[in-house]
């Protein structure tokens, strides 16, 4: 499996390395998680299911964007 495939399938997560060494990011991530948990308690089962699907879609979009940036960036740096 290639690095991009491993990223796509969630086998490796570069953000985890960044988070370990970045206190500000770690704190914001904690706040987001706390607020998400509070928000989810206010949802009906149907809304919670839809919100879960939304979160999965957003995560997939972020991974795809990251993968595309990795693929496109070397081309840009060669042009410059």
Q: Per this entry, what is the length of the chain?
A: 80
Distance of CA 43 to the CA centre of its chain: 23
Q: What is the pTM of this model?
A: 0.55
Distance CA 13, CA 21 (A): 14
> What is the pLDDT averaged over residues 24-47?
91
Residue 74 pLDDT: 54
Q: Would you place residue 29 in the very low, low, confident or very high pLDDT band (cuts 50, 70, 90)?
A: confident
In terms of C-beta density within 10 A (0-12 exposed, 13-18 middle, 19 or more buried), how is residue 54 classed? Answer: exposed
Q: Domain boundaries in the chain?
A: 3-79
Give me the chain's average pLDDT, please: 79
Largest CA distance in the chain: 52
């Amino acid at each position: 499996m290639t690095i991009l495939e491993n990223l796509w399938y969630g086998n490796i997560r570069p953000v985890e390395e960044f988070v370990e060494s970045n206190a500000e990011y770690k704190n914001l991530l904690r706040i987001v998680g706390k607020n998400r948990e509070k928000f989810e308690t206010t949802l009906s089962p149907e809304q919670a299911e839809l919100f879960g699907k939304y979160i999965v879609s957003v995560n997939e979009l972020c991974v795809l964007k990251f993968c595309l940036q990795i693929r496109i960036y070397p081309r840009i740096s060669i042009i410059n």
